[in-house]
């Protein structure tokens, strides 16, 4: 007998939209008015006055550091930038056309295999893991980017902060102060964003008491998708497809008529302009004014103008992905490295949520609504 059964003990909420999955004190969003805070501090204030290293401390330890605490933390990060040669050898052996996000996931797991086991229930062990993973992430990404091009790995410079050192390791050139500052702000803006897909993934894996390398590797897998971290790559591809500022109106008309996506606009949470986009937009303008504009930037400005004119009253505004890819390209960063840069920032948030999960851990085990068959009779293969 074939019986189709639908068990609906609860109402299904696709994507768990609006369903609380955990209590957290790390970041706060009010999407109706465009508010994002880390530990109670507005993102606008942090973007203007703070640094990425200071924000990492804030997320991890719940407060702004003293100068002594920050100096000690920064020195710890410098010391933890060292990556074993075996990990570099593994990255060098990967297919050159493979995506850097896959390489980062492999790099995290390899780093875990070459590191001492981490007791995830021990606070001191978790703190050491914070420093190692935050410090090694830009090293892994920059090293892979160069190795796949047949270039030598550029050694880290202990005198540079994380943003400037990443650009140095990636391009082999010391970045201009404004360029390094723009990347530092971009890292601040991407460091945490409540229970997003990759953070939720990380917390689910953390709830099994897996080590932090597995937690971050799993989160990277979630971040790699085009509906999450991969969106900034698709924004740039979209702008390249449009071709020029003059072509924007006709392209937008067709996109709206076909009900197609306009990458870089709108957000699952924000019903007004993404506050992170507002923060970075001014610095982007300053950087292009100082270092020269590009056709793709002009196309982006025209697209923003046209979209706001057509859809602004419907709550469709630029999000942070719209501007980040444009500025990364200006920095000489390959398009497929945009999402890994997201990971350089978000690893701080993942680790803060990992630590929070370990405070009062409970294994994630959600239920489901069954809609399949039951009581099916087995048919021998000769009779099928």
Measure Cα distances from 5 to 1, 10, 140, 368, 374 in Å.
Answer: 12, 15, 49, 13, 7
Measured distance CA(330)–CA(5) in Å, rounded: 56
In the predicted structure, residue 381 carries a pLDDT above the cut 90: yes
Per-residue model confidence (pLDDT) at position 263: 87
Residue 5, pLDDT above cutoff 80: no
CA distance 280 to 278: 6
Please report the pLDDT score of residue 110 as a whole number: 97
Evaluate if residue 198 carries a pLDDT over 90.
yes
CA angle at residue 218 from 51 to 267, to 5 degrees?
60
pLDDT tens profile 136-166: 999 999 999 999 999 999 999 999 999 999 9
CATH topology (fold) of 39-225+337-359? Citrate Synthase; domain 1 (1.10.580)
| b (16+ CB within 10 A) / e for 313-325 | eeebbbbbbbbbb
Tell me the mean pLDDT in the region 260-285: 80
Q: What is the pLDDT of residues 101-121, one digit of tens each?
A: 999 999 999 999 999 999 999
Using DSSP's 3-state secondary structure scheme, residue 40 falls into coil
Report d(CA 93, CA 74) in Å as an integer.
32
Question: How far is 80 from 222, CA to CA, in rounded Å?
Answer: 25
The mean pLDDT of 225-250, rounded to a whole number, is 88
Average pLDDT for 65-73: 98
Average the pLDDT over each of 3-7, 166-170, 269-273 and give the range with the smallest value: 3-7
pLDDT at 111: 97
From CA 147, how far away is CA 150, in angstroms rounded?
5
Q: What is the pTM of this model?
A: 0.90
Average pLDDT, the chain: 91
C-alpha to C-alpha distance for 325 and 239, rounded to whole angstroms:
10
Q: How far is CA 65 from the centre of its chain?
A: 24
pLDDT given for residue 12 in this prediction: 84
Known catalytic membership, residue 144: no
pLDDT value, residue 1: 47
Q: Could you read off the pLDDT of 9-54 as tens digits, one per residue?
A: 568 888 888 788 899 999 999 988 889 999 999 999 999 999 999 9
- Distances from the Cα of 377 to the Cαs of 171, 188, 370, 382, in angstroms? 63, 58, 19, 15
First and final C-alpha spacing in the chain: 16
pLDDT of residue 279: 87
- The catalytic residue among 144, 190, 193, 267 is 267
Domain with CATH 1.10.580.10 in the chain: 39-225+337-359
The percent of the chain in helix, strand and coil, each rounded to the nearest 5, is 60, 5, 35
Neighbours of 341 (CB within 10 A): 27
Mean pLDDT of 341-352: 97
pLDDT on residue 316: 82
Q: How far apart are CA 36 and CA 251, in angstroms?
A: 32
| Numbered ranges of CATH 1.10.230.10 in the chain | 231-330
Name all contacts of 237-242 with Cβ < 8 Å and 24+ positions apart. Answer: 237/263, 237/335, 238/262, 238/263, 238/264, 239/296, 239/299, 239/300, 239/303, 239/326, 240/296, 242/299, 242/303
321 flagged as catalytic: yes
Catalytic option among 161, 165, 274, 321: 321
Q: Is the pLDDT of residue 4 over 70?
A: no
Q: 231-330 in CATH: which number? A: 1.10.230.10
pLDDT value of residue 295:
87
């Amino acid at each position: 007998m074939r019986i189709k059964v639908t068990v609906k003990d609860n109402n299904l909420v696709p994507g768990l939209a609006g369903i609380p999955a955990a209590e957290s004190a790390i970041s706060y969003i009010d999407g109706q008015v465009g508010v994002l805070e880390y530990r109670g501090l507005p993102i606008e204030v942090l973007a203007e006055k703070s640094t990425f290293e200071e924000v990492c401390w804030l997320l991890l330890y719940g407060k702004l550091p003293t100068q002594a605490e920050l100096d000690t933390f920064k020195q710890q990060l410098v010391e933890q930038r060292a990556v074993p040669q075996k990990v570099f050898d593994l990255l060098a052996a990967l297919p050159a056309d493979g995506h850097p996000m896959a390489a980062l996931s492999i790099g995290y797991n390899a780093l875990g295999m070459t590191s001492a086991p981490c007791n995830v229930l021990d606070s001191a062990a978790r703190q050491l893991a914070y420093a190692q993973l935050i410090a090694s992430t830009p090293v892994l990404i920059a090293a892979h980017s160069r190795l796949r091009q047949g270039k030598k790995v550029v050694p880290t410079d202990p005198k540079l902060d994380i943003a400037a050192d990443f650009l140095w390791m990636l391009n082999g050139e010391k970045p201009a102060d404004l360029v390094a500052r723009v990347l530092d702000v971009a890292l601040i803006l991407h460091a945490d964003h409540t229970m997003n897909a990759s953070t939720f993934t990380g917390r689910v894996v953390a709830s099994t008491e897996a080590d932090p390398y597995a937690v971050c590797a799993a989160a990277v897998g979630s971040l790699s998708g085009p509906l999450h971290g991969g969106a900034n790559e698709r924004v740039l591809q979209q702008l390249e497809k449009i071709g020029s500022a003059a072509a924007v109106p006709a392209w937008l008309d067709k996109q709206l008529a076909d009900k197609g996506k306009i990458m870089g606009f709108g957000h699952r949470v924000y019903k007004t302009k993404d506050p992170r986009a507002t923060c970075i937009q001014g610095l982007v303008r300053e950087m292009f004014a100082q270092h020269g504009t590009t056709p793709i930037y002009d196309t982006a400005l025209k697209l923003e103008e046209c979209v706001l004119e057509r859809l602004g009253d419907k709550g469709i505004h630029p999000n942070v992905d719209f501007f980040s890819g444009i500025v990364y390209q200006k920095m000489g960063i390959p398009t497929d490295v945009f999402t890994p840069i997201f990971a350089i920032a978000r690893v701080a948030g993942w680790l803060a949520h990992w630590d929070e999960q370990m405070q009062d851990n409970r294994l994630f085990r959600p239920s489901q609504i069954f809609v399949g068959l039951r009581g099916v009779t087995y048919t021998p293969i000769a009779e099928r």
